[in-house]
Amino acid sequence: MNTRANTHLNLHSQLAAFIRQPPVCVPPEISLQEAVELMAERKIGSVVVAEPESQRPLGIFTLRDLLKQVASPSFDPSSMLLAIVDSQTPITLNWRATAYQAEILLARHGVHHVIVVDSSDRVIGIVSQSDILDVQRGGAKAMASAIRSARDLGSLVAAAEDIRRIGRQMLADGAAAEQLTETLSTLNDLLVERLLELTRLDFALPRVDWCWLAFGSEGRFEQTLSTDQDNGIIFSAAQGDADALRLAFLPFAQEVNRRLDACGFPLCKGNIMASNPELCLSLEEWKDRFLGWMRNANPDALLNATIFFDFRAIHGLGELAETLRDWLLEAVPAEPMFQRFMAENAHRAKPPIGFFGNFIVDKGDEYPRTLDLKAFGARPFVDAARILALANGIGETSTTQRLRALEKKGKLAGEDVSALIDGFYFIQQLRLRNQNEGIEEGRANRIEPAKLNSLDRHVLKEAFQQAKKLQLKLQMEYRL
């Protein structure tokens, strides 16, 4: 399938645009065995039983139906196919119908395929539920295939542009923030992994176990439409070998960072990249680094904790990252002062809403009448979920996964976790809207509440109240 051509499809597109190939129609007198042999020969998952002359559909037979037949005690491969499908009225729609109409019809009848017909009720194609879901994911399935087949940097640069286009289209189609950020993160993961695979071919890397790590929003599966690089390398090293191995990895890391920049992931202004020798470390060095942050909880250490504690493996031996995580989940509970400092730090980012429910906006000249959705909207959720998760031995890295895991452990038993998550994602949705509108970097996370419609203002106030509830949990937990 042509990925670029498919990215413009949405739930309002006509079904004719979803038809990828002509349908395979069979006469009603064909046997089950003959139909299965035909499906195997054509490498297809379904056939339409249709009248030979008029091509009016009588039913549809799929691989799912085949499994049901094989499982039946009365299975008979010589039985007529129509006898199997004629008890089901075929679900048909005119080619002018929309994908949305098809989705509703499929859900109502609990089936997975709709037969598309022309004005004479003649079969012209089949649209499956997965075809529609793929469009709802913005063509993510086809995009993933294109990334895996990329053979050079130029292909990956084009794929990165398509990923951003998919994100914008999903946003325009009304995709929820959770679905959108997870889709973007997943596709970007695939792109980074493929870029690493191709770049490895140009370098003679040390013959040791190693892994490429993602930090920050990428580590949390919370990438938006605009994101820079936050990455590092972890490797195995015998005592005394770390410096030499680091020198061998750094040229490779520098080239990866350069190529990621070419793909639209800007170089990190804070130098949080694998090409930084401070972030290309052995397993033992990473442990020492984390231990130093935990035992010297100064402002820089706390800032580092908010970035690096959200790490996850992208490419290479993931067990190295998991070994580090297991160690970290044992180390954090043993450092109560660090937990308290982290909780105090998280508690400082107050949601910008007053006692009487009014928005607290900036009064300065640079960003008048605005508020920062990242620093004072999303961050309270992210920071609180992080420290509560680490303190309770929870290894998940995404904010919502952490909140759900805390609920499962009974650590948020008195909270409405679904409301917390909805509040967090509403704020993310507003951030995505800003980025999609091409607002300049300094204002990309800022909104002017007065310009929101009344419903959005109401929901945003409730989202900030949810952030306050989470901070109250921290306050009570750590007696702040």
Q: What is the pLDDT of residues 450-462, one digit of tens each?
A: 999 999 999 999 9
Instruction: Please give the helix or strand (H or E) that residue 391 lies within, else none.
Output: helix 379-391
Residue with tokens 């597109």: 13
HSE-CB of 451 using CA atoms within 13 angstroms: 10
Q: What are the Cα distances from residue 115, in Å, to 54, 56, 87, 105, 231?
A: 15, 10, 16, 11, 47
Share the mean pLDDT of the chain. Answer: 88
Radius of gyration from C-alpha coordinates of the chain: 27
- Token code pair at residue 130: 């997965």
Q: What are the Cα distances from residue 399, in Å, to 29, 124, 184, 203, 379?
A: 57, 46, 16, 36, 10
Task: State the average pLDDT over residues 353-376.
Answer: 91
The answer to whether residues 252 and 199 touch, using CB atoms and an 8 Å cutoff, is yes
HSE-CB of 405 using CA atoms within 13 angstroms: 18
CA 181 to chain centre: 5
- Token code pair at residue 145: 């295939």
pLDDT at 243 over 80: yes
Task: State the average pLDDT over residues 442-456.
Answer: 90
Q: Quote the CA–CA distance of 59 and 84 in Å, as a whole number.
A: 9
Condensed to tens digits (0 to 9), the pLDDT of residues 93-124 reads 999 888 878 887 887 777 889 999 998 899 99
Q: What are the Cα distances from residue 75, in Å, to 36, 64, 72, 80, 339?
A: 14, 15, 5, 12, 63
pLDDT at 6 over 60: no
φ/ψ of 224, rounded to 5, equals -110, -165
pLDDT at 373: 94
3-class DSSP state for residue 101?
Answer: helix
Report the candidate in 386, 414, 399, 470 with the shortest Cα–Cα distance to residue 223.
Answer: 399
Condensed to tens digits (0 to 9), the pLDDT of residues 311-338 reads 999 999 999 999 999 999 999 999 999 9
* Structure confidence at residue 351 as a pLDDT band (50, 70, 90): very high
Report the candidate in 272, 285, 213, 274 with the shortest Cα–Cα distance to residue 248.
Answer: 274
Residue-by-residue DSSP string for 120-176: T--EEEEEEHHHHHHHHTTSHHHHHHHHHT--SHHHHHHHHHHHHHHHHHHHHTT--
pLDDT at 136: 62
* Structure confidence at residue 3 as a pLDDT band (50, 70, 90): very low
pLDDT at 4: 39
DSSP E strand boundaries for 266-404: 280-282, 312-316, 371-372
pLDDT at 199: 97
pLDDT at 405: 92
Residue-by-residue DSSP string for 112-136: SEEEEE-TT--EEEEEEHHHHHHHH
* CATH number for region 137-323: 3.30.460.10
> Which of 131-140, 204-213, 448-457 bottoms out in mean pLDDT, i.e. has the lowest?
131-140
pLDDT at 438: 65
* Structure confidence at residue 67 as a pLDDT band (50, 70, 90): confident
pLDDT at 416 over 70: yes
The answer to whether residues 241 and 198 touch, using CB atoms and an 8 Å cutoff, is no
Condensed to tens digits (0 to 9), the pLDDT of residues 246-300 reads 999 999 999 999 999 999 999 999 999 999 999 999 999 999 999 999 998 787 8
CA 354 to chain centre: 33
Query: CATH number for the 3-135 domain, one of 3.40.50.2300, 2.102.10.10, 3.30.43.10, 3.10.580.10?
Result: 3.10.580.10
Task: State the average pLDDT over residues 223-235.
Answer: 89
Most confident of 16-20, 59-63, 465-469: 465-469
pLDDT at 78: 75
* Rounded to 5°, angle at Cα 221 from 215 and 226: 80
* Rounded to 5°, angle at Cα 112 from 110 and 118: 110
198: left (phi over 0), alpha (psi -120 to 50) or beta: alpha
Q: Quote the CA–CA distance of 47 and 93 in Å, as a whole number.
A: 17
* Structure confidence at residue 86 as a pLDDT band (50, 70, 90): low
Q: Which residue has the higher pLDDT, 205 or 228?
A: 205
Q: In angstroms, how far is the first alpha carbon of the chain from the final one?
A: 56
Task: Give pTM, 2 decimals.
Answer: 0.76
Task: State the average pLDDT over residues 158-168.
Answer: 90
| Spatial CB neighbours of 451, under 8 Å, sequence gap ≥ 6 | none
